[in-house]
Chains A and B, each alone.
Chain A
Amino acid sequence: DTEVTQTPKHLVMGMTNKKSLKCEQHMGHRAMYWYKQKAKKPPELMFVYSYEKLSINESVPSRFSPECPNSSLLNLHLHALQPEDSALYLCASSQAGLAGLIYNEQFFGPGTRLTVL
């Protein structure tokens, strides 16, 4: 199975709502990533988890809260978002070396299209 799945495909939420995005992979990868992508722009890295521990937070606002409950699952909890947070949110996974070095062949999910009203 070489697939990264993301749910939901589309999400519309108000600025006061709390919602979560889910990402799952069964490739045995121990590194997982969240990216934000605006239209016609490259993905921007938000968070990296390695062995279920947060290893990179790219100064993302606290209204985005990542969680990695186990090696196959990655969540992104959303609270009090702003309209400018509307974007495609991509999850990816890759192998991770034992010494913490990560081999960077990342496999991406199809994304969640988020609209904040």
Chain B
Amino acid sequence: AQTVTQSQPEMSVQEAETVTLSCTYDTSESDYYLFWYKQPPSRQMILVIRQEAYKQQNATENRFSVNFQKAAKSFSLKISDSQLGDAAMYFCAYSRTDSWGKLQFGAGTQVVVTP
């Protein structure tokens, strides 16, 4: 069984600063997908970034980047130049490539952005 662990229930960051959210996962698969989803107070889940396990290069999307360490089964998210709009619950998620869309979510990390 796959499990996804987010060990930080809440992280606080000042505007313009950088925050890193940790995520570890457990799997015996060699090919899979990893995702970070953001859920703001409005409640709509938004995909932030996606990583295919076979790609060694870390994914980046504007101010969001990941540090994917396949051997360590670690997938951290770095938010640079934090903005008030980044305040949200962030979920790390894992999916096998043949899992019929089954996402395994972590417990989530609440990001608080202070002016």
Interface residues of A (CB under 8 A from B): 31, 33, 40-43, 45, 48, 50, 55-56, 88, 90, 92, 94, 96, 100-102, 104-111
Contact = CB atoms under 8 A, between A and B. Distances in A.
Given A42-B105, A43-B105, A104-B95, A48 B43 contact: no
Contacts of B46: 108
A112 B37 CA distance: 19
A33 B91 contact: no
Contacts of B99: 102, 104
Interface in B74-115: 89, 91, 95, 97-103, 105-108
Given A42-B107, A42-B108, A33 B101 contact: yes
A54 to B, nearest CB: 10
Given A50-B101, A106-B103, A40 B108 contact: yes
Given A42-B108, A45-B103, A48-B100, 20 more contacts: A31-B100, A31-B101, A33-B101, A41-B107, A42-B91, A43-B91, A48-B102, A55-B100, A92-B45, A94-B101, A101-B97, A102-B99, A102-B100, A102-B101, A104-B99, A104-B103, A105-B47, A106-B47, A110-B42, A110-B43
B98 A101 contact: yes
A56 B104 CA distance: 14
B82 to A, nearest CB: 22
A111 to B, nearest CB: 5
Contacts of B105: 42-43
7 contacts: A40-B108, A42-B91, A94-B101, A106-B101, A110-B43, A110-B44, A111-B43
Nearest to A90: B45
